[in-house]
Chains A and B, each alone.
Chain A
């Protein structure tokens, strides 16, 4: 069976909407706790003062 683009898009959006989850109530907290753990890990990691960030800026 071949689907038109319109049918495909509609099917995708319908499927997607049907699958939308109800977020567990503490999900924002879970994410922020994870971010805090990352922050603590990075804070504890000691590096020499001369180390520059891995950016490249070309003038």
Chain B
């Protein structure tokens, strides 16, 4: 086996397994060793699972010998954010008070992936308690700050920090992350990974730590849009164990994708002014590539709502309720991030009137997005407006929005991550270039259950660019 396996796509690896270039055991052993050796370099590893993985790999090889084929994920090594439980194994949620927690259930997404014969090789680090309700420093994790494979002095993003850096550094072929308000998109953008936030309810949350019941989503972080489609097909679907389940399945059907010329893509030209100046040439070029794939482009305006206040209120109130006993016990003080500790305590004091008002406004947000998507099919915008910050920089320091002295008059799509999460909409983060040698990305957002459209645009974009194939220098 050569090192190129560590950066191969799901389909490529699966084809090579079927051609018997190597066995699942050999593949899983190689990835497991790499994850255990290199993972700590990025603070990406929460819990290696080599014994379970090798046992599973042997069983997959037996299946392959008998020609029992389970599809493209068969034999593929992957990692899961440590917010997802595996029965009998430690699930720390990235937080010291839960460092020894062993749960008796396995997350539905992991059970579903197991049925495809994908092989879980380890749990990946995350921001403590998925960062709810807010955190101030990159080191807000039991595992230390997520270090970016493109520059270890910079953050890998949060809260799915280990998932982002592990995929970027070729430690797993794909990873599962979760997003309440930006936790898949941000590490994907910062680490040069293609990340998909599914529509709320499409993927079961059973066995995942709750942060905000009406906003939590689990999704794939991969090497490309194609891989995201394959993983989403495996993990999506109705689940009686999840009260938020939409009762829908997802079939990845690139062959039935709409013609690009039929799609209308909305954008805000003011977005470039919000981005850090060094990012603008690459973002501009990426927008030209989107235009070149043949879609119709139209100026669009994000519905005007106080997205920050809405997301802040819902995530704070929900998160503080989820962790009420942790707060009451005083063990909340064992968390690393002081702002998070204070935020969890204060969240218990949010009045019912504010929470209900936020939830009522969310109904309007949903309605307005429905109206917007009657005119356009997809929104495209910068995923983040700044590159990954230095790990020593406070995350609330105002970075990432250009640092310009005069702010543009219109907000453009700067509220899109919070807005999309409040409305439960799917999003795809697409690597689209570099600034200061750090990756940057576009995000595509569509109406509920439009994942196939987002993936079709993503695939087309990635057939014309190679940003998603670039490897961090130290990971070669």
Contact = CB atoms under 8 A, between A and B. Distances in A.
Nearest to B313: A38
Given A34-B312, A54-B363, A1 B37 contact: yes
Interface in A18-59: 19-24, 27-28, 30-32, 34-35, 37-39, 41-43, 45, 47, 51-56, 58
A28 B342 contact: yes
Given A31-B343, A51-B363, A54-B214, A9 B36 contact: no
B185 to A, nearest CB: 21
User: DSSP majority for the B interface?
Assistant: helix
A6 B64 CA distance: 35
Given A13-B96, A38-B309, A54-B363, A31 B47 contact: no
A15 B252 CA distance: 42
B384 interface: no
Contacts of B362: 53-54
Interface in B200-218: 214
A41 B306 contact: yes
30 contacts: A12-B142, A13-B96, A13-B142, A15-B43, A16-B142, A16-B143, A19-B139, A19-B336, A21-B137, A21-B139, A22-B338, A23-B338, A28-B346, A30-B339, A30-B342, A32-B346, A32-B349, A38-B308, A38-B312, A38-B313, A39-B313, A39-B351, A39-B354, A42-B358, A43-B357, A45-B306, A45-B357, A47-B361, A51-B361, A55-B214
User: DSSP majority for the A interface?
Assistant: helix
Nearest to B244: A56
Contacts of B336: 16, 19-21
A27 B356 contact: no
Contacts of B235: none
B144 A12 contact: yes
Given A16-B142, A16-B336, A11 B359 contact: no
Contact of B360 (A11, A15, A39, A54): A54
B426 to A, nearest CB: 17
A50 B45 CA distance: 49
Given A51-B363, A54-B366, A8 B313 contact: no
Contacts of B69: none
Interface of B: 33, 36-37, 40, 43, 45, 47-48, 96, 99, 137, 139, 141-145, 214, 243-244, 305-306, 308-310, 312-313, 316, 336-339, 341-343, 345-347, 349-351, 354, 356-364, 366
Contacts of A16: 96, 139, 141-144, 336
Contacts of B47: 5, 8
Contacts of B337: 21
Contact of A12 (B143, B243, B244, B363): B143
A54 B200 CA distance: 13
Contact of B359 (A9, A21, A54): A54
A20 B358 CA distance: 33
A47 B351 contact: no
Given A24-B338, A27-B339, A38-B354, 5 more contacts: A2-B37, A35-B312, A39-B313, A51-B364, A55-B359
B360 A53 contact: yes
A21 B308 CA distance: 26
B141 A52 contact: no
A41 B313 CA distance: 11
Contacts of A37: 309
